Chains A and B, each alone.
Chain A
Amino acid sequence: AQSVSQHNHHVILSEAASLELGCNYSYGGTVNLFWYVQYPGQHLQLLLKYFSGDPLVKGIKGFEAEFIKSKFSFNLRKPSVQWSDTAEYFCAVRDGGATNKLIFGTGTLLAVQP
């Protein structure tokens, strides 16, 4: 079964700094990849997703992610973070087979200091 690793557990940045959060999944083939965001006290919301095609995916709120098949990676980026980006970020990969379930990473807590 698939697994997902998020290497950064806690990231602290100042406003206007650039962001890159790492995500690696365990094996190749056709993959569906997702980034979700969870603002304090809220549920998870979809930031962006990759199914096929252009490996550079643009999502909401200025986020983007790049799928690099050779590295089994799907890193999340944002050129200039804002205080309102303070949240927890989860990478997820769809498990193969009939269940279609998503496998989530353990999350990265991002704190943006004004």
Chain B
Amino acid sequence: DAGITQSPRHKVTETGTPVTLRCHQTENHRYMYWYRQDPGHGLRLIHYSYGVKDTDKGEVSDGYSVSRSKTEDFLLTLESATSSQTSVYFCATENFKAGGHGYTFGSGTRLTVV
């Protein structure tokens, strides 16, 4: 959807390096989420945010941190990338105040850690 942009779309990085993925939305949605998608596991929640500077951990948060300094941006940082973090990362947003219509997803970032 045009309202959510993830960058970069693809990245190859070396083990041990820090990596930051960006999610930018123009929807003014309060809630933002980072998921990773892996074969056989579906989508697993890494971190989420329910407002500026309000974030919390999901089920697979180890090795990841997030920041949300303004409504439109939600950054995911891999502090020291490992091969197990090779995955496709999706950002999602939702305007729950409007009744909760479900998530809108970004196009994803394919990350390879070598």
Binding site for B on A (CB under 8 A): 6, 32, 34, 36, 42-46, 49, 51, 90, 92, 94, 98-107
Q: What is the size, in residues, of chain B's interface with A at 8 Å between Cβ atoms?
A: 25
Quick one: CB contact mask for B47-76 with A, threshold 8 Å, 1 for yes? 010100000101000000000000000000
Residue contacts A-B, CB under 8 angstroms, 5 given: A44-B103, A49-B102, A99-B50, A102-B33, A105-B42
Q: Which B residues are in CB contact (< 8 Å) with A105?
A: 42
A101 to B101, Cβ gap below 8 A?
no
Most buried by B among A43, A90, A94, A100: A43
Q: Per a CB cutoff under 8 Å, which of B33, B40, B100 touches A32?
A: B100
B42 touches A90 (CB 8 A): yes
A-B pair number, CB within 8 angstroms? 53
Query: Is A90 within 8 A of B100, CB to CB?
Result: no
What is the bound-complex CA distance between A107 and B44, given in angstroms? 12
How many angstroms between the C-alpha atoms of A100 and B92 in the bound complex?
12
Residue pair A102, B102 in contact (C-beta under 8 Å): yes
B 83-101 contacts with A by CB, 8 A: 90, 94, 96, 99-101
B103 to A102, Cβ gap below 8 A?
A: yes
Contact: B58 with A101, CB < 8 Å? yes
